[in-house]
């Protein structure tokens, strides 16, 4: 309890949390306007969790989402708990030192393969559907499903996975642990957000990720299963990107700057 009180009594920490909330809202609002099939609205939350701990990350996530909902995007309010969970998990992983720990290169290869696989699913899904993201038919008017994308593009997915693994091995290198942490956080975030999306908006929120939900609905899945399926595909990719960005930021900071923060 004393540690928590100390965290929120430090002006430097408060400034960091305020900046993080601003980053979340600015990036999240831009992604929403452009209807990109990704979120990137938790970069600031992850940064706070990594540097200040789980409680600060949790508070930043919830407070940032509430402010965003009250100012620009009312539809974001039900997802405040999701943002809080993301900050909490980032804090736990930060406390265990994953943001500064080195990993074997083969773990970076796994992370790279997963990242490129997720990107390929996004691209193929967006290409296969008509320009209207609410459509559940292909350009010829025939129903389409996520499963058909995998069945018809096995060679492509194999090549993409291999290329992603090689690039991950070469580029990510010792950041594999935090990459896996981002993937794990994305899976948890998907599980928490799926019922919220299903019961507050019928699974379609107006975001770019709606095209994935439409694909699962076209395959005959329920709204809850469709939102969960969308989350399992998009959230690990999104949180992996956010965690890797924060990992890069932290490791670029001078040691004397990092030492100002609690973890």
User: What is the domain range of residue 66?
Assistant: 2-258
Contacting residues for 48 by C-beta, under 8 A, at least 6 apart: 16, 17, 20, 56, 57, 60, 87, 90, 91
H and E: helices and strands count for the chain:
12, 0
Establish if 162 belongs to a structural domain: yes
| Pair 211, 37: CB distance under 8 Å | yes
Establish if 44 belongs to a structural domain: yes
Given a cut of 80, whether residue 263 has pLDDT beyond it is: no
| Angle of the 54-71 helix axis to the 11-34 helix axis, nearest 10 | 50
pTM (two decimals): 0.83
Tell me how long the chain is. 263
pLDDT of residue 140: 55
Q: Which residue has the higher pLDDT, 30 or 130?
A: 30
Closest by CA position to 40, among listed 30, 50, 49, 48: 30
Given a cut of 70, whether residue 128 has pLDDT beyond it is: no
Distance of CA 18 to the CA centre of its chain: 20
Supply the mean pLDDT for the chain: 82
Establish if 263 belongs to a structural domain: no
pLDDT of residue 150: 62
pLDDT of residue 228: 84
Predicted confidence (pLDDT) per residue in 174-219, tens digit: 788 999 999 999 999 999 999 998 888 877 776 767 777 776 776 6
129 bridge partner residues: 138
Phi, psi for residue 171 in degrees, rounded to 5: -95, -45
Dihedral class, residue 220 (left if φ above 0, else alpha if ψ from -120 to 50, else beta) = left
pLDDT of residue 258: 75
Establish if 191 belongs to a structural domain: yes
Domain count, the chain: 1
Can you give the C-alpha Rg of the chain in angstroms? 19
């Amino acid at each position: 309890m004393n540690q928590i009180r100390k965290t929120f009594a430090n002006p430097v920490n408060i400034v960091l949390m305020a900046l993080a909330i601003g980053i979340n809202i600015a990036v999240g609002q831009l992604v929403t306007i452009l209807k990109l099939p990704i979120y990137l609205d938790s970069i600031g939350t992850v940064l706070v969790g990594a540097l200040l701990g789980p409680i600060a990350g949790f508070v930043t996530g919830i407070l940032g989402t509430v402010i965003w909902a009250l100012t620009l995007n009312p539809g974001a309010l039900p997802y405040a708990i999701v943002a809080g969970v993301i900050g909490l998990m980032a804090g736990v992983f930060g406390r265990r030192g994953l943001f500064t720990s080195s990993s074997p290169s083969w773990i970076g290869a796994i992370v790279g393969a997963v990242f490129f696989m997720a990107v390929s699913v996004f691209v193929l899904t967006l290409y296969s559907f008509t320009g209207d993201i609410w459509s559940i038919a292909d350009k010829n008017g025939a129903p389409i499903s996520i499963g058909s994308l995998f069945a018809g593009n096995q060679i492509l997915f194999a090549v993409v996975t291999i290329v992603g693994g090689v690039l991950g091995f070469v580029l990510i290198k010792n950041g594999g642990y935090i990459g896996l942490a981002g993937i794990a956080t994305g899976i948890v975030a998907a599980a928490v957000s799926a019922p919220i999306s299903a019961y507050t908006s019928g699974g379609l929120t107006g975001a770019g990720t709606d095209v994935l939900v439409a694909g699962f609905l076209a395959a005959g899945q329920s709204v809850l299963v469709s939102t969960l399926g969308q989350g399992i595909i998009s959230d690990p990719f999104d949180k992996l990107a956010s965690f890797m960005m924060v990992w890069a930021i932290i490791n670029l900071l001078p040691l004397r700057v990092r030492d100002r923060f609690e973890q």
